[in-house]
Amino acid sequence: MSFHLVAKKLDVMFPDAHCELFHKTPFQLLVSVVLSAQTTDKKVNECMTPLYKKGFTPQGVVKMGQPKFLSHIKSIGLAPTKSKNVLRLSQIILDEHKGKIPQTREGLEALPGVGRKTANVVLAEIFGEPTLAVDTHVFRVTGRLGLHQETTPAKCEFALLDVIKTKYLPKVHHQFIFLGRRLCKARKPLCEECDLRRYCEFYKNR
């Protein structure tokens, strides 16, 4: 199967696919992605949108301090650890990056709480790099479509980058997530409503 056909269909199904984490600055996106591990975007947005609308900067977080920041995010999973990471990464961004988030994978992954997936999201969303962050939705829907047979997100990322041309990145990342959230749900995919049926291995083999 040519990925081009899937990409064309995804463009029709989800022409406005976008990052659903609310943010007004690159730093805010970085913080939200760090907070979103094992938590829904909706929950992160509920906690962070009021703070972001008031202005939320590395200086502001450091001034606020970890206990107060924790009180804002306490309904998010792993909040104590995440609040410490956000405080530490804010201080590093101030001390070592003149208050701006690093623009390289190496610089991003050196920050506390930032792994490959978080770095990929930031590199794609802020800097337009042709990367693909593999979260649970991307892993599931691309597996069902037959784009990979891998058993881990890390291996999946490289397998997908082999079959998806860079011209489709990073947009297709958001389209996969929209597909996973709206139709290709984990427990009960809504295949009869999905226009990818003719290209989908899961559908053909069920």
- Tell me how far apart the alpha carbons of residues 7 and 50 are, in angstroms, rounded to a whole number: 35
If the CB atoms of residues 72 and 185 are measured against ligand SF4, the closer one turns out to be 185
What crossing angle do the helices spanning 66-73 and 79-96 adopt, rounded to 10°? 130
Considering only residues 129 through 148, tell me which ones interact with ligand SF4, judged by CB under 6 A. 141, 144-145
With contact defined as beta carbons under 8 Å apart, do 21 and 30 qualify?
no
Q: Is 184 in the site for ligand SF4 (CB under 6 A)?
A: yes
Q: How far is the CB of 64 from ligand SF4 (least distance, A)?
A: 42
Q: Is residue 24 annotated as part of the catalytic site, yes or no?
A: no
Q: How far is the CB of 173 from ligand SF4 (least distance, A)?
A: 16
- Going by the DSSP 8-state scheme, the letter that residue 111 receives in this structure is S
If the CB atoms of residues 82 and 144 are measured against ligand SF4, the closer one turns out to be 144
Select which of 41, 43, 135, 185 is catalytic: 135
Q: How far is the CB of 43 from ligand SF4 (least distance, A)?
A: 25
- Tell me how far apart the alpha carbons of residues 123 and 111 are, in angstroms, rounded to a whole number: 14
Q: Is residue 167 annotated as part of the catalytic site, yes or no?
A: no
With contact defined as beta carbons under 8 Å apart, do 147 and 200 qualify?
no
Per-residue interface string for the shown chain with ligand SF4, residues 187-206, x marking contact by CB under 6 A: --xxx--x-xx--x-xx---
Closest CA to 153 of 117, 115, 103: 117
Piece in contact with ligand SF4 (CB under 6 A), picked from 19-27, 120-128, 159-167, 183-191: 183-191
Listed in sequence order, the DSSP H helices in 65-170 are 66-73, 79-96, 105-109, 116-125, 136-145, 153-163
Residues that contact ligand SF4, how many (by CB under 6 A)? 14
Q: Which token pair is 185?
A: 């749900």
Which amino acids are annotated catalytic? 117, 135
Instruction: List contacts with ligand SF4 (CB under 6 A).
Output: 141, 144-145, 183-184, 189-191, 194, 196-197, 200, 202-203
